[in-house]
Homo-oligomer: A and B are copies of this chain.
Amino acid sequence: MNGRVLIVGSIALDDVQTPFGDEEGVLGGAAVFGSISASLCAPVDIVGVVGDDFPEAHFNRLRSRGIDTAGVEVIDGGKTFRWRGRYEGMMEEAITLDTQVNVFSDFRPKIPASFCEDSIVFLANIDPEVQLAVLDQVPDAKLVLCDTMNYWIKSKRDALIEVLKRVDIALMNSTEARMLFDTTSLPKAAASLLDLGLKRAIIKKGEHGVLMFNRDGFFSSPAVPLEEVVDPTGAGDSFAGGFSGFLANAGEISEESMRQAVVVGSCMASFVVEGFSTTRLEEVDAGMLEGRCHSLRGSMNVNRLRIAERTGVAD
């Protein structure tokens, strides 16, 4: 175990429209948001694929944060995965306008040998069959997290269930958790996830924060209240990255460190949505993150209380 985080998933160019503006061809992708977020706390290895249209400047942004990009395959003559989406109103869910999978359609990740020693593996949202292929290459990871999305729940549920049986922590948003087990109840969906053998189920609820379930109970973290969300893209991946990076740095994986990791992840998610793409995330330093974590922790702090039995109620 080397204290590093391995992140496998999409590296993308995004076209994003929100009430705050339109951005074309900006740096995106689940593995990118996850890696930039994780790299504040721990060294990161990223694995993915891009076309030769992917700007060298984007590579440099990753490398300047100590993210090892040796596992990013560049396909000559290929085009990078491109996602076009819009957020409206409450901006709770993206409206996908167009997805060009491009070089990602043939993605068969080969994990560089040195990355296979990484302590924590985050399988960002990709085809669950690809996630299974990665799992075969990292049998010694201390902790493996996976994310997914509604598309795979509908189209490849069996493969996804196989993935979930082989990882330690599932991350998904509340809509996905409900869809996966066809229930309106989040506690039931979480119980079904744990029944698959997962150690933890983390349900992301956007502005309502995060619930982390294990067999003994749950931990709840609120979201940082933000008066304005500029661009929600990457919030979930930034959560997962912050969570993974904090744990890799902490070394010890315990109930307490995982709760702290949820707080760190929630704060990283709150930063990324303050700007388009990864711009705001790249500005965060340790002091800013610690300050926001301290404040968020303060919002859930309450002393033990006693309920006195009232006497003479029935008099």
Contacts and interface: CB of A to CB of B under 8 A. Distances in A.
A46 interface: no
A220 B299 contact: yes
Given A286-B308, A289-B307, A309-B286, A314 B264 contact: no
Given A286-B308, A290-B307, A307-B290, A260 B302 contact: yes
Contacts of A89: 184
Count copies of this chain in the complex. 2
B227 A187 contact: yes
A250 to B, nearest CB: 9
A77 B227 CA distance: 52
A186 B305 contact: no
Contacts of A304: 294, 297
Nearest to A88: B184
A217 B305 contact: no
A301 B220 CA distance: 9
A23 to B, nearest CB: 21
Report, as a range, how many residues of chain A touch the other chain.
35 or more
B220 A222 contact: yes
Interface of A: 39-43, 64-66, 89-91, 184-188, 190-191, 205, 207-209, 211, 217-222, 225-228, 246, 249, 256, 259-260, 262-264, 285-287, 289-290, 293-295, 297-310, 312-315
A247 to B, nearest CB: 11
B226 A310 contact: no
Contact of A299 (B207, B219, B225, B227): B219
20 contacts: A39-B313, A64-B314, A65-B313, A187-B225, A188-B227, A217-B298, A217-B299, A218-B225, A219-B299, A219-B302, A220-B220, A221-B300, A249-B310, A260-B303, A285-B309, A286-B307, A286-B310, A289-B307, A297-B302, A300-B302
Main secondary structure of the interface of A (DSSP, over half): loop
Contact of A40 (B220, B286, B310): B310
Contacts of A306: 290
B65 A302 contact: no
Nearest to A40: B310
A152 to B, nearest CB: 23
Contacts of A219: 299-300, 302
A42 B310 CA distance: 7
9 tightest A-B contacts by CB? A220-B222, A208-B208, A187-B225, A300-B300, A260-B305, A286-B309, A290-B307, A259-B302, A286-B307
A220 B264 contact: no
Nearest to A260: B305
